[in-house]
Amino acid sequence: MKRRLAIIGLGRVGKACAEAIAACEDLAAAGIVRRPESLGLPLPQALLGVPVAPHASELGGLDAALICLPRPLVLEAATDLLQHRIPIVEAATVPSAGYRSYQRQIDQVALRHKVAAVVGAGWEPGMLSLFRGLFATLCPKGHTATRDRPGVSLHHTLAARQVSGVKDALCAELRAGSGEIQRYVYLELEHGAALPRVQQMIENDPLFLDEETLVLPVDSIAALEDEGHGVVLERWGTSAAKAHQRFLLEGRFDRVAVTAQVMVAAARALPTLAPGAHVLADLPPSVLSHEFNEPPN
């Protein structure tokens, strides 16, 4: 049977949650809670026919609620839902200085009403911390650097666009944790072009020889430039006395869409959790994604 989720607030994250739920076979949108002035507004395609109410108590048979409200309203909404014994997932971008206290307040209400909650189930707070923790597990003695959008190098972008087989290119440069410049060359290839040949031509070009260059194929440079968020997470150090270990996560993505995806995955984990507030690191990975259940290659 499908698990029934309510969406509280239909802004950017709320709409993205609706899309994420619609794409899951095991989940269904059970209802939407909106402020009074939004109750009559049209719903996006993914939510047509889904009931809308001013309060979750008016929606029947909820398994959990995804709180997608502006940050200052989230604690009050979480408290109210937990008092109604509705498990919750939230992802509010609470400043780190107040985060522990915020989490503790939700934990206390959740414990009092014997309900599970997942807090910080987005990108940041959320998955980014999980990746940081995983990298530190692989390489316990070392340093981690996190950087947002790398700067674009027009000079190198133009050079990469000249290579035969390249339809479009974007070249970004950033300073690695070691202090050296790294270059990321994103390539959209012409139909039928072979990536290894193009990659070799770029890597052997004298213009690119001076710095470490990583060539990354993408479907569309235009889409890449439209995307709002980029991150480079790097960890370097020692694993089991072996020095010079290095781990790198490079991502460009829509932060709202990714946050919704994480919230939906966290909602799937709720029935496995004890009462109280949990963070992503507390959740069983095998519940977050079926991929964790696949046998190793």
Ligand X SMILES: NC(=O)c1ccc[n+]([C@@H]2O[C@H](COP(=O)([O-])OP(=O)(O)OC[C@H]3O[C@@H](n4cnc5c(N)ncnc54)[C@H](OP(=O)(O)O)[C@@H]3O)[C@@H](O)[C@H]2O)c1
Please report, as ranges, the residues that interact with ligand X according to CB under 6 A. 9-14, 34-35, 38, 68-71, 73-74, 91-93, 122-126, 255-256, 259
- Look at the chain and count its residues: 297
Q: Which is nearer to ligand X, 69 or 231 (CB)?
A: 69
DSSP code of 86? -
Q: Least separation, in Å, of the C-beta of 62 and ligand X?
A: 17
- What is the closest distance, in whole angstroms, from the C-beta atom of residue 23 to ligand X in the complex? 18
Pick between residue 71 and residue 141 the one whose CB is nearest to ligand X.
71
Here the tokens at position 141 are 């003695």
CB of 42 to ligand X, least distance (A): 11
Of 153 and 259, the one with the shorter C-beta distance to ligand X is: 259
In the bound state with ligand X, the residue whose beta carbon lies nearer, of 177 and 230, is: 230
* Strand order, beta sheet including 141-147: 141-147, 229-239, 242-253
As measured in angstroms, the least distance from the Cβ of 232 to ligand X is: 17
Q: Per-residue b/e over 155-191, b at no fewer than 16 CB within 10 Å?
A: ebbebbbebebbebbbbbbbebbeeeebbbbbbbbee
Phi, psi of 241 (to 5 degrees): 70, 0
78, 106 in Cβ contact below 8 A?
yes
With CB atoms as reference, the residue minimizing the distance to ligand X is 11
